[in-house]
């Protein structure tokens, strides 16, 4: 079994863009072969969270872990901050993690951050399907001064305890504009620690 610990880091400096490009360490996007929207839909619907008790115990090859993390490295990133860091835990580190967890076991309710992450994963699926359909999408946090007001909550039909995590703007891109969007990411090796 392989654990990947994902850390969200705050105050990560925004990469310096010179003449519209990121530093040389950034890897250019690899454009995959086109998938049909129904293939993407089937893939998204097929994804399941498999409980560790149902793992076979077979080793996951490092190459597959790296492939998974490279996909994670291409998540949307506001201002190109790329705030993710991952630590891949070996057997001893996994045992230590379990011991520490059992000592600090929280209550039964999901923590707020976990619910926020679930929403973010749902939005990522929206992004993927948007791309598969040839549409354009943009997840905006919006301005908190407006978004978090009682009037906005009422407009959106939210309860007092609910939080709006932004708006996904969806549209049909102008002809040829998508090809003009370029993206790159910093080296994955700068974001992964193996223990």
The rounded mean pLDDT for the chain is 75
pLDDT digits (tens, 9 = 90+) for 98-148: 777 777 776 656 778 888 888 998 889 888 888 877 788 888 888 788 888
Give the helix/strand (H/E) hosting 178: helix 177-180
- Cross-strand partners of 193: 87
Q: How far apart are CA 111 and CA 54, in angstroms?
A: 24
In the structure encoding, which two tokens stand for residue 157, read together? 């039909």
pLDDT digits (tens, 9 = 90+) for 61-91: 888 888 888 888 888 887 788 878 778 878 8
Whether 187 maps to a domain, the answer reads: yes
Whether 126 maps to a domain, the answer reads: no
Whether 52 maps to a domain, the answer reads: yes
pLDDT digits (tens, 9 = 90+) for 145-154: 888 888 878 8
- Find out whether 178 and 69 touch, Cβ atoms under 8 Å: no
Residue ranges making up the domain that contains 62: 3-31+42-111+181-194
Whether 14 maps to a domain, the answer reads: yes
pTM of the model: 0.63
The residue whose two tokens read 């991952």 is: 86
Whether 105 maps to a domain, the answer reads: yes
Q: How many domains does the chain have?
A: 1
For residue 20, CA distances in Å to 27, 30, 158, 180, 187 come to 15, 19, 40, 13, 18
Give the helix/strand (H/E) hosting 123: helix 112-132
Whether 143 maps to a domain, the answer reads: no
Whether 11 maps to a domain, the answer reads: yes
Whether 120 maps to a domain, the answer reads: no
């Amino acid at each position: 079994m392989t654990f990947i610990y994902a850390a969200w880091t705050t105050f990560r400096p925004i990469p310096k863009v010179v003449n519209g490009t990121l530093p040389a360490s950034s890897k250019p996007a690899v454009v995959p072969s086109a998938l049909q929207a129904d293939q993407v839909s089937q893939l998204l619907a097929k994804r399941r969270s498999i409980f560790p008790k149902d793992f076979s115990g077979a080793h996951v090859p490092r190459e597959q872990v790296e492939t998974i993390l490279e996909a994670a490295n291409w998540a949307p990133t506001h201002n190109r901050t790329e705030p993710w860091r991952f630590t891949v835990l070996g057997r001893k580190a996994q045992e230590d993690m379990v011991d520490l967890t059992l000592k600090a076991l929280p209550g039964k309710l999901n923590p707020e951050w976990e619910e926020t992450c679930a929403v973010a994963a749902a939005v990522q699926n929206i992004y993927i399907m948007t791309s598969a359909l040839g549409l354009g999408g943009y997840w905006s946090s919006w301005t908190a001064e407006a978004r978090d007001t009682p009037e906005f909550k009422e407009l959106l039909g939210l309860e007092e305890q609910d939080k709006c995590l932004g708006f996904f703007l969806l549209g049909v891109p102008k002809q040829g504009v998508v090809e003009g969007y370029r993206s790159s990411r910093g080296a994955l090796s700068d974001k992964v620690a193996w223990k």
